[in-house]
Amino acid sequence: MVQDPRTTNRYLIYPLGSEPCLTHDARGATAMTVHDPAEPFAGLDALARLERLLDLEDIGENLFRGHTPPTDQIRVFGGQVAGQALVAVSRTVEQTRHVHSLHAYFLRPGDPKAPILYKVDPIRDGRSFTTRRVIAQQHGEAVFALSASFHTGEDGLAHQVGQLEAPQPEEVPDLATRAAEAPSDVRDRYARLAEDFPFELRFVDGLPSVESRGASPSARQRVWIRAPRAMPDDRVLHVCSLAYASDMFLIGSTLAPHHVDLRQIAATSLDHAMWFHAPFRIDEWLLYDQEGSWTGDGRGLARGHIYDRSGVLVATVMQEGLLRRRAGGGV
């Protein structure tokens, strides 16, 4: 790993190799050459793939390009687009200012076989706050939009409502153990997640929408997360990695009380908001305490509180998602 001399907040983690070309048609519209997604990620484990996908290419003024690791999924994981978009806006902000909030909309499914272009609009640079907006595009269409605000930080009043309510991570079974004990129809899914997801996961309340179903199921689910090894001392990298992780499982908390077969539900993130309250490291244990607040009209609303293991509230998340029964209720 080498540090990019242009900024202390950017790391060149792996050589880029051959990359897709950016072309312009007669109308000036940007076109993307579909790339081989395996090439930049070949031979990397899950955490290294995360670091690589967050290392965006700077290809022009306020213009960045990101890639997706090889996957058999038909759409890009929403947390990836959120994390990459946050990297893009962070690259245009003074290093003394740190993101304190973001608000985003998922507009179209992302194509995992095509690069994603991130065009940043530097809306405002004030004395204490900086505001940025970014649009993610593929095939000439917007797939994601994010606005973020950055703050210099200052002294002031302080309190938090709520506290960490969970056993420490060492007291909770790891994901591989949970998967081995799960029903056969979901065992492979969670065993694969243990291999592919870039973070260690320890579910306090059992696997989401599996062990939580019961006579009186709760809309609450709690999971400890951390990177499996030390990551660079780059605050932007840790924040953007948490943005990536924040999209995982959250909307599922709205389904837990309903006794539904998840294969009959199409669940898709619609919008996503985060507020960052205190410094943290993603390579140290964080508790993601999630709760489904409401379901209705084909949608669900969920909130999450993220604590470090000492009980400090480091981030708050809100997300609304589409909850649509599949045609015919089929599997």
Active site residues: 247, 269, 319
Give Cα 271 distance to the centre of its chain: 12
d(CA 167, CA 170): 8
Are 79 and 244 in contact by the 8 Å Cβ rule? The answer is yes
Phi and psi of 29, rounded to 5°? -75, 145
d(CA 95, CA 222): 33
Contacts with 51 (C-beta within 8 Å, 6 or more apart), sequence order:
11, 13, 231, 237
Q: Is 29 exposed, middle or buried (0-12, 13-18, 19+ CB in 10 A)?
A: exposed
d(CA 132, CA 125): 9
